[in-house]
Amino acid sequence: MGFKMGIVGLPNVGKSTLFNALTKTAAAQAANFPFCTIEPNVGDVAVPDARLDTLAGIAKSAQVIPTRMTFVDIAGLVKGASKGEGLGNQFLANIRETDAIAHVLRCFEDGDVTHVEDRVNPVEDAEIIETELMIADMESIEKRLAGLSRKIRGGDKEALVQERLLKAALAALENGRPARTVEVEVEDRKAWAMLQLLTSKPILYVCNVDEASAATGNAFSTAVAEMAEAQGAAHVVISAQIEEEIAQLSPEEATEFLAEMDLEEPGLDRLIRAGYALLDLETYFTVGPKEARAWTISRGTSAPKAAGVIHGDFEKGFIRAETIAYDDFVSLGGEQAAKEAGKMRAEGKGYTVKDGDVLHFLFNT
């Protein structure tokens, strides 16, 4: 179950440095964490989760396999991208294929690094990209509405739903609001997602600060935090320069370096977790002597659907899920002890999997 987060930003904001640090970190962890470079600008990165190591230790698992997210380094955008300026068309197409956007904003002063707008103002940078995406969405919606007219005249129900949703998005955009501000009913969410509107995607603002501000942030990142809060968006403070340095170090050296910088963990760990939370994702675990593995699901996923993440046959032939809460598994010392203490539950098709559940699926072949 893959989830893609696009890394976007104006030129020279540290976007590619951040992506390179992500991929180098993943490559360095290849012994324990799956990593692959699908294309030069696409990388799979392990989602940090200390619970997985704890479970593996209790079960004495031979292999530990974390869940992962895919990050896409999208070509730098410039003003006018919606009209095809720079790599505009490619940029917009690449964003359309992602589930969420990590918007890297320059929050540092450096006379040696030229800013495309010849100033440092992360809030205005965010507005430039948002404006380009909104313009592109409006043009796309107008074309699609025109293309739906014949189907609508014929009474096509699916086309009528699309028209209603597209008009709701257009109304928001014409009022200066991105499509993600539109309230979408539960029954319309699948159709809404299929519209693939650029501004409907959730945004995580990434404040790229100088090394000295990595632990505390600065005035620039504070302005971004205020903007994010006003929008109901998320933000993280990170120093791409520090992350690139950490990616070159051994685990022991990295721990020592972080301590010297007054940092509890790499910023990339926070970035990955923030992206995971932004997409409203959860994790469940399968644990045994062969492997301990984390699996990604959307919040609210039923037990059969969760089983289907492992294999389609698990969902089709689902009988029940033997379920142990993470805290019970850990406090009691494993599956057998949890079972003897009555903490293993048999859950049916109607069960909604909870974050941290340790599951074993029974199914018909």
> For residue range 182-231, what is the model confidence (pLDDT) as tens digits?
999 999 999 999 998 989 999 999 999 999 999 999 999 999 999 999 99
306 and 225 both lie in a single domain: no
Give me the number of domains the chain comprises: 2
CATH code (residue 68): 3.40.50.300
195 and 255 both lie in a single domain: yes
Question: Which pLDDT belongs to residue 35?
Answer: 36
Rounded to 5°, the CA angle 47-52-54 comes to 140
Considering the domain boundaries, does residue 293 fall inside one? Answer: no
54 and 8 both lie in a single domain: yes
235 and 308 both lie in a single domain: no
Q: Going residue by residue through the chain (365 aa), what tens digit of pLDDT does each one get?
A: 468 888 888 878 888 888 888 777 554 443 333 334 445 578 888 888 999 999 999 999 999 999 888 888 876 555 554 555 444 456 677 788 888 999 999 999 877 666 666 678 999 999 988 998 899 899 999 999 999 988 888 888 899 999 999 999 999 999 999 999 999 999 999 999 999 898 999 999 999 999 999 999 999 999 999 999 999 889 999 998 898 888 888 889 989 999 998 888 888 888 888 888 888 899 999 999 999 999 999 999 999 999 999 999 999 999 999 999 999 999 999 999 999 999 999 999 999 999 999 999 999 87
> For residue range 217-228, what is the model confidence (pLDDT) as tens digits?
999 999 999 999
186 and 64 both lie in a single domain: yes
Quote the crossing angle between the two packed helices 15-28 and 240-247, to the nearest 10°: 20
121 and 185 both lie in a single domain: yes
For residues 307 and 303, what is the distance between their CA atoms, to the nearest angstrom? Answer: 6
- The residue out of 223, 248, 278 marking a domain boundary is 278
Instruction: Return the structure tokens found at 344.
Output: 């293993």
124 and 270 both lie in a single domain: yes
What domain range includes position 172?
4-278
